[in-house]
Structure 1
Amino acid sequence: MNEMTKIGTAKDWESDQEVRWCPGCGDYAILKAVQRTMPELGVRPEDTVFISGIGCSSRFPYYMETYGFHTIHGRAPAIATGVKLANPDLDVWIITGDGDALSIGGNHTMHLLRRNLDCQILLFNNEIYGLTKGQYSPTSRIGTRSPSTPFGSVDRPASPCAFALGSGARFVARGIDVNKKLPEVLKAAHAHKGAAFIEIFQNCIVYNDDVFAPFTDKANAAEGQLWLEHGQPMLFAGGSKGLRLNLDHLHLEIVDVVDGDWQSVGVQIHDIANRSVAHMLVELPFGAFPMALGVLYEDPRPSFEQAVIAQNRQIAEGKIPDLQKLVAKGQTWQVEKQPRVE
């Protein structure tokens, strides 16, 4: 990004509030990544709003030197919609968790994505309810032992990115709390005009520690992470393996790459506008395949607030505002003052 667009430093985006998460929580890394990224986006703190629901992640607005709302459980999308419609020039960010966004807030999240409000949604996924002391969440895996599932969860977990794609999201991405590539994903989301959905794998050190270690640990990262880039082959494990689209059965499969010759084995080129392949990427079986990361899907369309503003402008064209006429419209009457009887 051009240096001329850089506004301030990370310090300018840090509030004076003490950051209060459990020591070692992945939320600290996400907060720092966001604060480091904001100066490079060409936006100003006074034009920015962070909106959250309920959960550990929802402390986030307190720590950003911007406007912010700490709203009620699952309703951050509704508040964000009102903010963006009232002032479309504001840069709106939604901070939420897997429980906040996909349980009580599932309906609101779905409609925000369907409507395509111009905002960035950061979903911190730790696969557990951290704030309420470790109950299993909509994204907890089968077998998860928690206070609410002492014998292991039997629920099939929700996939945040599959949910987003199914809801009509036009931008879907994934990142990792401590990974250095997270700021690049944040920049891509911000550049997208419309609802940009990012699932961020976030370690809960108290109630679900190392649940993502099979692909986040340094020793497992090469084999466990597939960082996607538009127009580039889907390679991982240092380029020694890749994903190929099996056209006979329409699924992705792992192939070995010898001497960098990925073309001869048919490694798939990542196309961010290919929605079908994006669905395949988010549904890859955990453990058997690398975790697909980066921008999985992007295909912009006009945003919700743009359509609302255009419609209002069209309806108002040629009309003179008359508040009194509007108030008096319909069944109204006037109470006349009666003369006083002595």
Structure 2
Amino acid sequence: MNDMTPITTTLKDWETDQEVRWCPGCGDYAILKAVQRTLPQLGADPKNTVFVSGIGCSSRFPYYVESYGFHTIHGRAPAFATGIKLANPDLDVWLVTGDGDGLSIGGNHLMHVLRRNVNMQIMLFNNEIYGLTKGQYSPTSREHTRSPSTPLGSVDHPANPCAFALGSGARFVGRGFDVSKKLPDVLKAAHAHQGAAFIEIFQNCIVYNKDVFNDFAAPKGAEDRQLWLADGEPMLFGSEKTGGVKGIALDQENLSLKVVEVVDGDWQSAGVLVHNAKNRVLAHMLVELPFGEFPMPMGIIYDDPAPTYESAVIEEKRRASEGKDTSIARLLAKGQTWTVGGTAADPV
């Protein structure tokens, strides 16, 4: 619901007195700062804000945000967050999880919070590795990833977090990466969305999976490898300095997406698609694009609000109690009751 009156805060108001302890150079530092800088811009109130996490490097997050927080158990953060939201729907709930916590033991719980459409922001930090437990391959690790648990290379096909979210019924799917200046814009859009807002954030694990995202996140040539999406804007990437502007168009013969060249800025003649964030079919096509042949889609991939779970529960309770006495004290006093005193029980 998030109908609280906005208040004025600063970055300092969201910093705790706890020493931030991640490995030097970890992408989690950048995500933490992005969130702490975004919260004042949202008019958020620390007294009405709750961060909930599971287990993993990302799950230290609640210690470092000056708000209410729950560091829960492995994979079960969505269940705790759902209970918090049902107990007090006006709280602003942020769920923090990782690719291991959220997509292995917690995959079932994550699916249900998405399909129920509980009104919260869900940040999944994806570093494609188990960092906290010393570098084993995770559900999102790429094929042939060498790790302590796969010394010859992983043979698993990786999970796609955004495809998982869409398949689970998510009504908002966004994507960014740790050091991107555009990440706060994705966080703001997620917060404005009424319902479960899922954001995949690529996060560099400096120790166990260093620079795995450099193929699209490295600053040099990023224009050619990143497709930043915004509702109502053409799907363009690249620049004249790096080989020309390109766009994403529809291959009508194969009902698939394709890359087209844009000449002299005339993207309409090239058939470049204008992003429609409410088009679920288009969102599925975008998150399944093979990177290398296509740039990495980021930004607001899908945003189509629907009634939230907690609003439906509140309405159900209202209808169930309509015209009925809801006073616990009066209900307990109805019917045949006794007052017990000493050894005798006297009927009232």
TM-score, length-normalised on structure 2? 0.92
Aligned to 1:268: 273
Aligned to 2:286: 281
Asked whether 1:116 is paired with 2:117, we answer yes
SS for the counterpart of 1:248 is coil
1:320 maps to amino acid: D
Report the CA distance between 1:318 and its aligned residue: 1.6
SS for the counterpart of 2:318 is helix
Q: Deviations over 1:32-69 (max 9, x none)?
A: 00000000112200000000000000000000000000
Q: Deviations over 1:233-259 (max 9, x none)?
A: 100002610111111111111111111
C-alpha separation between the residues in 1 aligned to 2:196 and 2:338? Answer: 46
Pairing of 1:217-236 with structure 2 (within 5 A): 217-236=218-237
- Contact in 2 for aligned 1:194/1:303 (Cα 8 Å): yes
1:56 maps to amino acid: C
C-alpha separation between the residues in 1 aligned to 2:265 and 2:120? Answer: 39
Match of 2:247 among 236, 242, 247: 242
Q: Deviations over 1:55-113 (max 9, x none)?
A: 00000000000000000000000000000000001000000000000000000000000
- 4+ residue runs over 4 A deviation: 324-329, 332-339
Report the CA distance between 1:327 and its aligned residue: 6.5
C-alpha separation between the residues in 1 aligned to 2:148 and 2:234? Answer: 43
C-alpha separation between the residues in 2 aligned to 1:197 and 1:219? Answer: 28
Q: Deviations over 1:116-142 (max 9, x none)?
A: 000000000000000000000000000
2:278 maps to amino acid: A
Match of 1:258 among 240, 259, 263: 263
Aligned to 2:172: 171
C-alpha separation between the residues in 1 aligned to 2:134 and 2:65? Answer: 25
- Contact in 2 for aligned 1:213/1:220 (Cα 8 Å): no
Aligned to 1:211: 212
C-alpha separation between the residues in 2 aligned to 1:77 and 1:333? Answer: 44
2:229 maps to amino acid: L
Match of 1:296 among 296, 301, 324: 301
Identity %: 70
Gaps of 5+ in 2: none
Match of 2:325 among 320, 323, 339: 320
Aligned to 2:43: 42
1:115 maps to amino acid: R
SS for the counterpart of 1:278 is helix
Report the CA distance between 1:177 and its aligned residue: 0.3
2:281 maps to amino acid: S
1:277 maps to amino acid: L
335 and 276 in structure 1: CA distance in 2 versus 1, 3 angstrom threshold: same
- Contact in 1 for aligned 2:54/2:96 (Cα 8 Å): yes
C-alpha separation between the residues in 2 aligned to 1:81 and 1:198? Answer: 17
C-alpha separation between the residues in 1 aligned to 2:86 and 2:149? Answer: 40
6 and 320 in structure 1: CA distance in 2 versus 1, 3 angstrom threshold: closer
Aligned to 2:16: 15
1:195 maps to amino acid: A
Gaps of 5+ in 1: none
Q: Deviations over 1:253-280 (max 9, x none)?
A: 1111111111111011100001111111
- Contact in 1 for aligned 2:9/2:43 (Cα 8 Å): no
SS for the counterpart of 1:279 is helix
1:162 maps to amino acid: A
SS for the counterpart of 1:121 is strand
C-alpha separation between the residues in 1 aligned to 2:343 and 2:269? Answer: 95
Aligned to 1:62: 63
Report the CA distance between 1:335 and its aligned residue: 9.6
C-alpha separation between the residues in 2 aligned to 1:297 and 1:25? Answer: 28
C-alpha separation between the residues in 1 aligned to 2:134 and 2:270? Answer: 48
C-alpha separation between the residues in 2 aligned to 1:264 and 1:289? Answer: 20
Asked whether 1:89 is paired with 2:90, we answer yes
Report the CA distance between 1:220 and its aligned residue: 3.1
Q: Between Structure 1 and Structure 2, how many residues are aligned?
A: 335
- Contact in 2 for aligned 1:234/1:269 (Cα 8 Å): yes
C-alpha separation between the residues in 1 aligned to 2:97 and 2:320? Answer: 36
Report the CA distance between 1:337 and its aligned residue: 7.8
Report the CA distance between 1:323 and its aligned residue: 2.9
2:75 maps to amino acid: G
